[in-house]
Structure 1
Amino acid sequence: MAADLPQRGSRMSRRCAFGLFTLPFATIGASSARTASLRIACLDDGLAETLLMLGVRPVAIADREVWEKWVVEPALPPEVADIGTLLEPNLEFLAQLKPDVILAIPYLDGIKPLLERVAPVKTIGIYTEGGQPYRNAVDATRTLASLVGKVEEGEALIAATEAYFAKVKLQLAPLSARPIYVISFMDPRNVRVYGQKSLFQEVFDRIGIRNAWTGETNYWGFSTVGIDGLATDDDARLAYLEPLPEGAGGTLTASPVWDAMPFVRNRSIMRLPPVLMFGALPSAARFARILAEAMAAHG
């Protein structure tokens, strides 16, 4: 797993201001006790985080390590089984769990026939060639809510997310003049920079922030560039996502190329905790919150 990032894209008061999503995340263990009777194996973390926010616990996901490293919240209940990697799940173990339905995404169409030997597969696409992952995440929330009999909870999640973006936009208005790059390091010399078709761009659009990256992006909404490829806007700030891959920390302290970047010279760098770049509404809200907190702290 390159740089420990989710493997997608190889083909194609401050408490009051920022705390709206703290309560649902904190109380998810209690709400998940009211799970629907449907046994769901979920092979996408964006769909799984949405289920948890609806109060439904899947019986299994793929790769718990990715969840704990990148999704972070809502916390994944320990009862949820780990069926292995996304593209090579343990089908024998999956069959033992007796799911009623397997939730998948278009990225997994290549293994869909194998999954269908275990249980019916429902494919829900958030990241597609047409982009607009936020709109797709809203549609996915409604689809999942209908599937598990949580229609009111689904509408409440959508409304709360929209309300939170409106609050963050108002809070950040005095800090929104300068554009921002959002990146994650692949290695000490190369980064993913997020732009059109990305969840981060969709959040930017809703909280009134300009993206400094206007170049082309792939299916998942990012471009992979060398560090020097970020020198396209002299006034831009930069936000980089943790965790850093091995060796990348040295780039931040001892790289002549890095030191030459305008955002380094201007001391306009923000460190962001992990957030799932390929997530759904909960990840969108988390990204808005951690970015807003970083911007407020940075001034």
Structure 2
Amino acid sequence: MPRPKLHRRALLAGLIAAAGLPRAVPAAAPFPRRIACFDYALAETLLLLGVEPVAVMSAADWPTWTGEPPLPPGVADLGASQEPNLERLAAIRPDLILSTDYTAMVEPAAARIAPVERLSIYGAASDPLPRAREVTLALGDMLGLAHRAADAVAGVDAQMAALRDRLPPNPPPLLMVAFMDTRHARVFGRASLFGNAVEQIGLRNAYPGEVNPWGFATVGVEELAPFADAFLLSIDPAPADTWPTLARSPLWTELPFVREGRVRRLAPVLTFGAMSSAARCARLVTEALAEQAA
């Protein structure tokens, strides 16, 4: 059974009790500001709200997988997402810990250090981008930043609308992938963050197949052959030998979109990100389409 959500009133009551303050003055309790994150998408959302997390899981790997926004240099690294460094977390003394369904197994131990709030974007029985909007607004309310959260959501939607106006005429369907190795790739379907992002700016995702709760299917390179008219966009990073090996592979070089030069690599975008990642994805795709049209 999922643990019940810790709503703002309960969270504030816990903070007041921990501080030894009388319950008669809950309005005087501060909103949490020292926030640790067990999830990149939630850390990204905090940054969108102008709040720097004090600690993030696998902070050292953030530049590799995220690209932007940069993680502030003072953010502590809590180690691997499934095995957090609880001693470091306790030493940091956060006011609040943000978790997801994916990191639920560490919540009981983490809850002995600070209140835990679970906010899941993926696997929540809804498309990731609408869910990311909901999480952004929920975090804004929880942190006393409701107006800032509403402005952030409106700002991202405005960016997407502006990108839609910049698209070249008659753009091709998109095949969005991330290579796992030289023979296999994750291909992102409509129910992925990338699929949601390109659809919002008026583009069509070429992949119609079933995907997992994270929005992708793992396929062999040969399974990309049916999408002859697609424009393939490969999101970095890929293993170092991927592109040199593909360049020598008849299986790859004979694919129609490869022969006709409809392949572009994109800079890293957080695959399982939130609103900032969706906007970054849409911008990079728009730029790639403009280069292709030129």
> Normalised by the size of structure 2, how large is the TM-score?
0.86
Q: What is the identity percentage for the equivalent residue pairs of Structure 1 and Structure 2?
A: 44
1:227, 1:219 → 2: CA distance?
22
One-letter identity of the residue aligned with 1:104: S
SS in 2 for 1:73: coil
> C-alpha displacement at 1:144, in angstroms?
1.0
> C-alpha displacement at 1:230, in angstroms?
0.7
One-letter identity of the residue aligned with 2:222: D
One-letter identity of the residue aligned with 2:94: P
Partner in structure 1 of residue 5 of structure 2? none
1:120, 1:126 → 2: CA distance?
20
Partner in structure 1 of residue 4 of structure 2? none
> C-alpha displacement at 1:51, in angstroms?
0.8
Partner in structure 1 of residue 193 of structure 2? 199
> C-alpha displacement at 1:52, in angstroms?
1.1
Query: Once superposed, what is the RMSD of the aligned Cα atoms?
Result: 1.3
Larger Rg: 2
Which of residues 265, 270, 273 in structure 1 aligns to 2:267?
A: 273
1:62, 1:247 → 2: CA distance?
28
One-letter identity of the residue aligned with 2:98: L
Partner in structure 1 of residue 243 of structure 2? 249
1:125 to 2:120 alignment? yes
Partner in structure 2 of residue 13 of structure 1? none
Which of residues 149, 171, 184 in structure 2 aligns to 1:190?
A: 184
Runs (4 or more) in structure 1 with deviation over 6 Å come to: none
1:131, 1:270 → 2: CA distance?
29
Unaligned runs of 5+ in 1: 1-35
> Normalised by the size of structure 1, how large is the TM-score?
0.85
1:201, 1:69 → 2: CA distance?
21
1:238, 1:278 → 2: CA distance?
19
Partner in structure 2 of residue 53 of structure 1? 48
1:173, 1:72 → 2: CA distance?
25
1:234 to 2:249 alignment? no
Map residues 83-232 of structure 1 onto 2, 5 A cutoff. 83-172=78-167, 174-176=169-171, 178-232=172-226
Partner in structure 2 of residue 294 of structure 1? 288
1:89-147 CA-to-partner distances (Å, cap 9, x unmatched) read 10111011111111011111122212222221100011125131111100110111112
Task: Give the paired residue count.
Answer: 263
One-letter identity of the residue aligned with 2:77: D
Contact 1:43 1:105 in 2 (8 A): yes
1:141-178 CA-to-partner distances (Å, cap 9, x unmatched) read 011111222111111111111111111112115142x2
Unaligned runs of 5+ in 2: 1-30
> C-alpha displacement at 1:38, in angstroms?
2.1
1:103, 1:124 → 2: CA distance?
7
Contact 1:187 1:246 in 2 (8 A): no
Moved more, 91-100 or 114-123: 114-123
One-letter identity of the residue aligned with 2:197: V
